[in-house]
């Protein structure tokens, strides 16, 4: 199929589960955020031009890349408010990892071994990342199926573009998608009620690129980092819910709010201590916790 949509994916936070803040002072981040930026391929040139104007607002040349963490607070707010006006949709999968502290997926480890330093060891397997990606692709594929006939008069597929990370095996992610496709009738195996719409997804059409080479990935970096900073407490205990509030209208939705669809909070039936600022941010996307 001819690609009709781009799905640019980036993340914020880290995947560590052995130790998790704030339970462990030296643990990994409490939250992990995976964000997809969904845009029609036919509209992407316009998006590139529009983002160049955003860069000029904060004193960055069009050829330079934006990293959200390197911006001043004023620049961050300008960028996020400007992204909220662009022609795109956001899908965010947000995992609070307290309930997964110390968890291991032994089934994945047992079937993925390799020789390392003279010993047979579990191969690094990105099962946590891939599981969140599944949630993201379920929603992205539903959106593309909903819009493909209106946009093109025919079914067109999604081209998936990850922000390249050396610790992620994208071949494993492709293999994971193929297994999802072949085992999709057995929902219990994957412990999920949702389904990917395979009519708009080619499991082999997965790319990874450097963010400096792709505007869509720079936007994904900004969105993921902004959501992360709206929920995950810094070392000083600070969060800034204004970022997710400003982005709230860009999350895909099938109802009045993006709750559980364009903005998916995990685990299911989320229960965790929240500050007033964290609660404020989640309220803006429909969660009354």
Q: pLDDT at position 185, please? A: 53
Binning the chain into helix, strand and coil, the percentages to the nearest 5 are 40, 20, 35
Q: pLDDT at position 113, please? A: 47
Beta strands in 126-255 (DSSP E): 157-163, 201-209
Which stretches in the chain have pLDDT values below 50?
A: 113-115, 120, 122, 188-190
Q: pLDDT at position 234, please? A: 75
The class that CATH gives domain 3-283 is alpha beta
d(CA 201, CA 250): 22
Tell me the pLDDT tens digit for each residue of 223-252.
999 999 999 987 666 899 999 999 999 999
d(CA 36, CA 22): 27
Q: pLDDT at position 102, please? A: 57
Of the candidates 48, 63, 85, 91, which has an alpha carbon nearest to the alpha carbon of residue 216?
48
Alpha helices by DSSP H, listed for 8-126, are 44-57, 73-83, 106-110
Q: pLDDT at position 204, please? A: 82
In 3-state terms, what secondary structure has residue 206? strand
In 3-state terms, what secondary structure has residue 7? strand
Q: Is the peptide bond before 267 cis (omega within 30 degrees of 0)?
A: yes
The structural domains of the chain, with segments of one domain joined by +, span: 3-283
């Amino acid at each position: 199929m001819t690609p009709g949509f781009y799905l640019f994916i980036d993340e914020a936070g880290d995947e560590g589960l052995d130790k998790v803040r704030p339970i462990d002072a030296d643990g990994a981040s409490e939250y992990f955020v995976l964000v997809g930026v969904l845009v029609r391929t036919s509209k992407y040139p316009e998006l590139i031009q529009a983002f160049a104007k955003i860069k000029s607002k904060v004193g960055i040349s069009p050829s330079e890349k934006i990293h959200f963490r390197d911006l001043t607070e004023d620049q961050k707010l300008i960028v996020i408010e400007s992204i909220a006006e662009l022609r795109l949709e956001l899908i965010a999968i947000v995992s609070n990892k307290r309930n997964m502290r110390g968890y291991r997926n032994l089934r994945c480890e047992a079937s993925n071994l390799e020789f390392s330093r003279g010993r047979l060891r579990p191969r690094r397997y990105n099962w946590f990342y891939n599981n969140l990606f599944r949630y993201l692709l379920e929603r992205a594929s539903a959106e593309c199926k909903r819009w493909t006939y209106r946009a093109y008069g025919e079914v067109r597929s999604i081209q998936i573009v990850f922000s390249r990370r050396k610790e992620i095996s994208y071949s494993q992610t492709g293999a994971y998608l193929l297994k999802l496709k072949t085992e999709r009738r057995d929902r219990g195996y994957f412990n999920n009620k949702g389904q990917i719409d395979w009519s708009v997804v080619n499991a082999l059409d997965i790319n990874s690129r450097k963010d400096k080479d792709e505007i869509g990935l720079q936007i994904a970096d900004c969105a993921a980092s902004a959501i992360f900073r709206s929920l995950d407490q810094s070392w000083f205990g600070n969060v800034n819910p204004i970022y997710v509030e400003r982005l709230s209208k860009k999350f895909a939705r099938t109802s009045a709010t993006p709750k559980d669809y364009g903005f998916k909070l995990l685990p299911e039936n989320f229960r965790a201590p929240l500050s007033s600022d964290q609660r404020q941010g989640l309220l803006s996307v429909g969660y009354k916790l």
